[in-house]
Amino acid sequence: MKLKNIIKQLLRLTLFFLCLSTTAYANSPAKKEVVVATAANFQPTLQKLADIFYKKTGVAVSIASAASGILYLQILHGAPYDIFLSADSRYPQLLEHSSAVSDRDHTPFLYARGQLALWAPHSPQRILNENALKTFKSGSIAIADPQVAPYGAAAQEALKKLKLWDPLSSHFVQGTNIDQTFNFIATGNAEMGFVAVAQLMQNNLASRNPPTPFSKGEKMKLEPYLLNTTQSSKTVWVIPQSFYSPILQEGLLLKHAQNNPSAVAFQQFLLSPEAQKIIQEAGYA
């Protein structure tokens, strides 16, 4: 079933690829459009950065969003992307030495670090913590597909560490990516589920305190998150980072970027102090 779902997603986006390939390079060489494939969790932040980049340069950034594993398969099949922004480091590293990567710079780059949270907006009577999972008896728990979604893989790792993956497996409802998983919970189709902290930030459900300035060359710092509601302990539990491997979100310049200087410029902008500050404010470390 999972393979069928992946194939369906690939077919669903075929028309998008055909349209994209005829328009992505229609501009002059100095003003080429930049086509970015991004993990679903980073799409809102990327859109904000794309708008700023357009105001600065006049270069438009087109965005395709899906689970990182789906985007990885699309890239292997020739999808015309300039930059790949994964929600982990595994997929960029798998692509690093493939023919899909730019000859100019095939080294993955770190653009963000993610954090995982358990969210239960419809069950305020339940204090969310490790014990809430251990005593969960009825209802559904939403999780992104661990095979293609890095945040789903992180959730799986955390549950295995708690020895709860097998006991809770009958309650799981899987989203194809972290956005669908968030929607399962928001609409009440799942009582609780695992989401990115950044999604909670983007929906005003969590806030960082205090913000940490980022300067070029400085190592990204992991910061605690304070939740901006008095019911926070009952609706959100930020999973301790010792429960799962660091979510290192890496990107990669792809082959289609070789003759597109605007793609290189956008990559440089993404790593600039200005953009990194926006990324941190959006809920990433």
The CATH code of the domain at 2-113+248-281 is: 3.40.190.10
What confidence score (pLDDT) does residue 224 get? 43
What confidence score (pLDDT) does residue 98 get? 84
Distance CA 87, CA 155 (A): 13
Q: Residue 9: how many CB atoms within 10 A of its CB?
A: 19
Question: What would the pLDDT profile of 237-282 be if each residue is shown by its tens digit?
Answer: 999 999 999 999 999 999 989 889 999 999 999 999 999 999 998 9
**In this structure, is the dihedral angle defined by the CA atoms of residues 74, 5, 182 and 159, taken in order, positive or negative?**
negative
What confidence score (pLDDT) does residue 25 get? 35
* Pairing status of strand 207-208 against strand 247-253: unpaired
Q: How is residue 111 annotated by DSSP? A: E
| Fold agreement between 2-113+248-281 and 115-245 | yes
Q: Which long-range contacts (CB under 8 A, 24 or more apart) does 254-257 make?
A: 254/75, 254/81, 254/82, 254/83, 254/84, 254/95, 254/100, 254/101, 254/102, 255/99, 255/100, 255/101, 255/102, 255/103, 256/24, 256/35, 256/80, 256/81, 256/82, 257/82, 257/83, 257/102, 257/104
Average pLDDT of the residues of the chain:
83
What confidence score (pLDDT) does residue 221 get? 43
User: Which of these, 195, 179, 201, lies nearest to 281 by C-alpha position?
Assistant: 201
What confidence score (pLDDT) does residue 128 get? 83
What confidence score (pLDDT) does residue 207 get? 65
Starting at the earlier edge strand, list the strands of the sheet with 34-39: 61-66, 34-39, 83-85, 247-253, 109-114
The CATH code of the domain at 115-245 is: 3.40.190.10
Question: What would the pLDDT profile of 79-90 be if each residue is shown by its tens digit?
Answer: 999 999 999 999
Contact 60, 263 (CB under 8 A): no
- Spans of the chain, pLDDT less than 70: 1-31, 102-105, 124-126, 207-234
Its pTM surpasses 0.85? no
Domain residue ranges in the chain: 2-113+248-281, 115-245
Contact 90, 152 (CB under 8 A): no
